[in-house]
Amino acid sequence: MKIAIGSDHAGYSLKEAIKRAHPEIEFIDGGAFSEESVDYPDHIARTATAVKNAEVDLGIGICGTGIGASIVANKFGGIRAALCTNEFMAEMSRRHNNANMLILGARVVDESLALRIVATWLETPYEGGRHQRRLDKIALLEKENGVR
């Protein structure tokens, strides 16, 4: 599996912990590369672009609260970025919404919980069925509103 991962300075440490916790995954790191202050839109956009262009299977974005990263990632057509603060949200984001990007708030969830959220998100399959109808409606809204 290949995953794009990106963060701002607040999420740098958590990003590195996720990479260490999953040596079986090939991570494409979109930055940040230190805890020096950076602008989250730059790194999250790079990560979302890799997901959108199918250069990777999935993406993970991290900032202080996860809110900014969610806003940025969801500006890209075809991205279904889910800000998750617990394992149930991670499971349902995959099972019902087929989220292709997980967003975490490094100042909201501690590392232990974040690693459990990531594991749950990665292990949970998409159910399809009635949920696909809803995703098709989201794709139509993107098209109607010029989201590319």
Known catalytic membership, residue 96 = yes
Q: What is the pLDDT of residue 65?
A: 98
Q: What is the pLDDT of residue 26?
A: 98
Distance CA 14, CA 104 (A): 9
Q: Over the stretch 17-39, which tens digit does the pLDDT of each residue have?
A: 999 999 999 999 999 999 999 99
Q: What is the pLDDT of residue 142?
A: 83
Which own/partner contact pairs does 130-138 have at CB distance under 8 Å and 24+ positions apart? 131/95, 131/96, 131/97, 131/98, 134/96, 134/97, 135/80, 135/97, 135/98, 138/80
The pLDDT of 83-107, averaged and rounded, is 98
From the candidates 9, 22, 43, 63, which is the catalytic residue?
A: 63
Known catalytic membership, residue 63 = yes
Q: Over the stretch 117-146, which tens digit does the pLDDT of each residue have?
A: 999 999 999 988 889 989 989 888 888 888
Q: Does the domain at residues 2-144 carry the CATH identifier 2.40.10.10?
A: no
Domain spans, the chain: 2-144
Q: In sequence order, which ranges of the chain are alpha helices (DSSP H)?
A: 12-21, 40-52, 67-73, 87-95, 111-123, 130-144
